[in-house]
Amino acid sequence: MDDLYQQQIIDRYKNPKNFGKIDGGIEVEEVNALCGDKIKISLKINKGVIVDAKFIGCGCAISTAATDILMDLIKGKKIDEVINMSGSLIEKEMGIELTSVRKRCAYIGLEAIKKIKDSLKK
């Protein structure tokens, strides 16, 4: 557990690569009331494929870094595939194993994207 706050996580937390908002993108939001993490993701989807993904929001280092990593992971993937994606992929990419409490921080971005079905229906 000592390596939870490894350099990659700290760097992504301080300077997330995918921080921002896409004009005209589809927006989804998720809150983790437990710790106050709150993020808003905007996606640009073309023919069912995610061509760009960004996020804004505030939260702990784990939620911010994990969401930033998630944005990298989903670019170029089909939205249907991402909706069914397992959170363990994020953990794998982070290179750490998370406790159940921290999984809620790390999976916040994925939980937001899962809401996109409702946004697309509208």
Partner 1 sequence: MKDNFPIFKNNPNFIYLDSAATALKPNCVIESESEYYSKISANIHRGFYQTSQKASDLYDQSRQIVANFINADISEIVFTSGTTASINLVAQSWGESNINSGDEILITQMEHHSNLIPWQQLALKKNAILKYIRVNQDFELDISSISKLITTKTKIVALTHVSNVLGTINPIKKITQIIKKINPSTLVLVDGAQSVAHLLVDVVDLGVDFFAFSGHKLYGPTGIGVLFVKKNIFKNMTPTFFGGGPVSEVFWDKTILLNPPFCYEVGTPPITQAIALSDGIKFIQSIGWLKISNHESKLIDYALTQLSSIPQIKIFGPTKNRSGVISFVFKDPKLPQPHDLGDILSTQFNVAVRTGFHCAMPLHHLFGLDTGSNRISFGIYNTTKDIDTLIKGIKKSIKIFN
The burial class, CB within 10 Å (0-12 / 13-18 / 19+), for 45 is: middle
Pick the closer one to partner 1 by CB: 24 or 34.
34
Contact predicate 108/35, CB 8 Å: no
Query: Of the two residues 43 and 57, which places its CB atom closer to partner 1 in the complex?
Result: 57
Per-residue contact string for residues 45-64; x = within reach of partner 1 by CB under 8 A:
-------------xxxxx--
Report the residue from 8, 19, 22, 38 that binds partner 1 according to the rule CB under 8 A: 38
Q: What is the DSSP letter of 35?
A: T
The H-or-E segment that residue 98 falls in is none
Residue in 74, 33, 27 with CA at minimum distance from that of residue 52: 74
Rank residues 34 and 122 by Cβ distance to partner 1 and give the closer one.
Answer: 34
Positions that interact with partner 1 (CB under 8 A): 1-2, 4-5, 10, 13-14, 33-38, 58-62, 102, 105
